[in-house]
Chain A
Amino acid sequence: MKLKINGREYEIVSGPGTTLLDVLRYELRLTGTKEGCGTGSCGSCTVLVDGKAINSCLVIVGEVEGKEITTIEGLSRQGKLHPLQQAFINEGAVQCGFCTPGILLTAKAFLDSNSHPTESQIRQAIAGNLCRCTGYDKIVRAIMSVADS
């Protein structure tokens, strides 16, 4: 089976019933995608599939064959950070960083569909992504700063 990840084709040996998260982390060694719970309730495994944020621990690779998958490793292009990545750095939205890849991808998908959200829309949008370190304050501000610019 072939998967298209960050614009590149990968030949996969894991069976079609393997979760996308396991394929990313264990087979392809794309370890930027994190596993916080494995049951769809923390968002740390979020990746984009055809531009939509999904929990990769809940999806099996058979379902995403032929689709465009973006992981955190593919968010910056040609060494240039995505504005959200830069904003997360500048605003202090990163502490331990374990939630960061998932929240960045959730935020990207959200801003792609709603470029001028309110604070409460941002909070709703990232409500599926837990962060235990930051209290969300600086994460929300970072996303707002990108939305405003």
Chain B
Amino acid sequence: MAKYSVVGKRIPRIDALSKVTGTAIYSGDVTLPDMLYGKVCRSPHAHAIIRRLDVTKARSLEGVMAVITASDVPGYKNRSPLLLVEMPHLAQEKVVYAAQPVAVVAATSIEIAEKAVGLIEVEYEELPPVLDVLESMKPETPPIYPDLYTNFIARPPTDKDSKPSNIAYHISVNRGDLEAGFREADLIIENTFRTQPIHHGYLEPFAAVAKADVNGKVTIWTQTQGVFTARQMIAEFLGLPPTQVKLVPVEIGGAFGGKSYLPLAPLCALLAMKTGRPVRMEMSRDEVLRDGRPAPGSVTTIKIGVTKKGYITAASATFIYDAGGFPEMSHTMFVRGNTFSQYKIPNIKIEAFDVLTNTVPVTYYRAPSTPQSHFAIESQMDLISRALGMDPLQFRIQNSTAEGDTTPSGEILPKVGFKETLERMAEYLRQKGSLQGENRGRGVACGFWHGAAGSFGAYVNVNIDGTVTLVIGVTDVSGSRTSIAQIVAEEFGIPMEAVSIVVGDTDTAPWSSPSVGSQTIYSLSHAVYRACQDAKDQLRRLASPRLGVPASEIEFANGQAIFKGDTQKSIPLAALGRSSLGFRGEGPIVGRGSIAGLPPAPSVAVHAVDVEVDKETGKVKVLSYAVAQDVGLAINPMSIEGQIQGAVTQGIGWALMEGYVFDRGKVQNTTFLDYRMPTATDVPMIDTMLVEVGSTTGIYGLRHVGEPPMVGTLAAVANAIHSATGVRLKTLPMTPEAILKGIKKQGKS
């Protein structure tokens, strides 16, 4: 008999019906009476001082209700530009990237708002833009911010860094004796790898609708991965206490990390306050690509030493991430926990830097920093296994870490399924057999994600008809509502149809961290589980005298509270729900649960991809793709498969075709025609193997799911191209031109 009756089942998403019928409400679908339209005026320059900003003409245009610049923002009054609480939404004195907002307009129609933007007069004094990270890091390069000292994020400046710098953040890790480690090695390989800035490519552009009521409270409908963090950011911008701001959740049309920041909502809220009327703002795709916060490009130099038998003795690496124009979203802070953790490396040195440039500021994208670092690490692992003549999976299995091993960050690994997952893939490939045919090649790679865990609350109501309502404060970006509903159904022994989930607004829902870091289901499930236990204890106390059995002997199945010793002794939840109310009842049954500080449950995903390369055109065809991932326990296998398949497709786009084209810091490819993403013809079916090595910390053994499958893709594809052509590409994207160039060069040598 299966251990669980609802958990582990392929249950369709509870939000699917509203989405296939077009009735689901996204931010841009919200309309309020008497609504105004907002539009942003953006900088045309990547780096410039604002000498004059005159909005008088725009303000006097008929139909314009408000024009706002940085000096109108209450939250800027006491704010250093580097307060690092929230992104500066309007430039003050200086613009640091092209498309940075300098003013925003509200008018009675979109057309008038656009016309007003054209009437805003800005005089810029252009400064030479800093565009290259290596250039930007040099001490002689003028700092973009005269008051930014390295690691401002982590600590106040010390005497040591008395000089401002474009290095926003720097970390180093040292373990063991690096030199001794390299001396022990029989083979040392060193290479430099580069990745390009990349966009999340969510299909839904940003939108926001806001209104202010007579009491000064502001209500906002906008897509965000975290309604409470959004509330905080907007409140600070508006200079209001957080509870004077209300975020209403809406459906989110794809996020992947890209919808934690709020390009429109704070502006929209301020316009609503100033005008006293509801305001809607929407970004065009062009604006999304120019100001839509990509994942950073990177430069990684990596050196690994191994013995003849294929044991790693030492590794050193320098990871440099291009932060773009703002220092807030550090990627190096993820490096410590997410690099080299799946391998035993006795001697290690890591340096990582977030470096500012005058390009669009970055944000987090599906396992931030880690696909980039793993492109380098896993390409390098492939090169070493080739040099040693070892099977690439065996090489990884032999070096993989297990429970009790120490990672570079000094963390002792809990129970993990790295080896099991690698072995599962090895077994799959044995069964599949070797790849036949000319110009074809197979690549494997292993991606690690440490995971995050936030703080979450949950309320559970047992209703008078025996159904259960769960109230949470987490927006759904991954199918979380369905998986969480499965847990509630499982815990109460009721069918899925008897569970309803309410994602509340910030006035009604319990506090929740944002949906990031693959933490949502992993952490939230704890709070939900506890809320269920709390409510079940109340039900037991109600049922115990009625059944004449001790409360501790009561369990729940088929919509009933049942005596363990004699299943004839039972009472429906509906009867208990009803009896709790009314004159003599004990009051409604409300369970509550909270969680914070859960240790993460690290996970790996192992990739194998077969490609065919057209030697005439350089075009890569992905023939087949498989991922084995340790998910701990698959609450909903169908949902997890979908996460893996989506992540892999994003990774294939990153590896082969996507990337920003800049001209002096300005994004040039601002439509989906020239920012090309994978279509259905670019990818095959994607096989998934869900390995279930239960974690010791997650409910039912859960692990993090959404991000790990992105991490290994880039290197897997590069390794497959190497197998097919003999060409090793160390720079992304691996376009047909780049591959052809490699093939030609090979022919010459």
| A interface list, Cβ under 8 A from B | 25, 29-39, 41-42, 44, 71-73, 75-76, 81, 85, 88-92, 94-101, 104, 119-120, 122-124, 126-141
B10 touches A92 (CB 8 A): yes
Alpha-carbon distance A75/B17, docked complex (angstroms): 13
B202 contacts A by Cβ under 8 Å: yes
B479 touches A98 (CB 8 A): no
Q: Which residue of B lies closest to A41 (CB)?
A: B672
| B interface list, Cβ under 8 A from A | 10, 12-13, 15-26, 28-29, 31, 200-205, 251-256, 284-285, 477-479, 638-639, 641-642, 644-650, 671-673, 677, 679-681, 683, 685-686
A98 touches B253 (CB 8 A): yes
Alpha-carbon distance A103/B264, docked complex (angstroms): 28
Alpha-carbon distance A118/B649, docked complex (angstroms): 21
Residues of B within 8 A of A76 (CB): 21
B253 touches A34 (CB 8 A): yes
Residues of A within 8 A of B639 (CB): 92
Alpha-carbon distance A126/B680, docked complex (angstroms): 7
Which of B20, B31, B646 contacts A134, CB < 8 Å? B646
Q: Count of A-B contacts with CB under 8 A?
A: 179
A85 touches B20 (CB 8 A): yes
What distance in Å separates the Cβ of B634 from its nearest Cβ neighbour in chain A? 13
B203 touches A132 (CB 8 A): yes
A136 touches B254 (CB 8 A): no
Q: Which residue of A lies closest to B651 (CB)?
A: A135
Alpha-carbon distance A101/B251, docked complex (angstroms): 14
Q: Please give me the 3 A-B residue pairs with the lowest Cβ-Cβ distance, nearest first.
A: A32-B22, A97-B19, A98-B253
Alpha-carbon distance A131/B253, docked complex (angstroms): 10
Residues of A within 8 A of B650 (CB): 132
Alpha-carbon distance A89/B28, docked complex (angstroms): 24
A131 touches B203 (CB 8 A): yes
What distance in Å separates the Cβ of B481 from its nearest Cβ neighbour in chain A? 12
A98 touches B204 (CB 8 A): yes
What distance in Å separates the Cβ of A95 from its nearest Cβ neighbour in chain B? 6
B12 touches A42 (CB 8 A): no
Q: Which residue of A lies closest to B207 (CB)?
A: A35
Which of B10, B203, B646 contacts A42, CB < 8 Å? B203
Alpha-carbon distance A134/B21, docked complex (angstroms): 18
Residues of A within 8 A of B644 (CB): 135
B17 touches A89 (CB 8 A): yes
Q: Which residue of A lies closest to B20 (CB)?
A: A85
What distance in Å separates the Cβ of B566 from its nearest Cβ neighbour in chain A? 39
Residues of A within 8 A of B21 (CB): 32, 72-73, 75-76, 81, 85
Residues of B within 8 A of A127 (CB): 679-681
Most buried by B among A73, A85, A92: A92
What distance in Å separates the Cβ of A84 from its nearest Cβ neighbour in chain B? 8
Q: Which residue of A lies closest to B648 (CB)?
A: A135
Alpha-carbon distance A34/B253, docked complex (angstroms): 10
Residues of A within 8 A of B19 (CB): 94, 97, 100
User: In the complex where A89-B16, A137-B685 touch, is A37 in contact with B642 (Cβ < 8 A)?
Assistant: no
Alpha-carbon distance A37/B20, docked complex (angstroms): 20
Residues of B within 8 A of A130 (CB): 201, 203, 672, 677, 679
B642 touches A92 (CB 8 A): yes
Q: Which residue of A lies closest to B199 (CB)?
A: A132
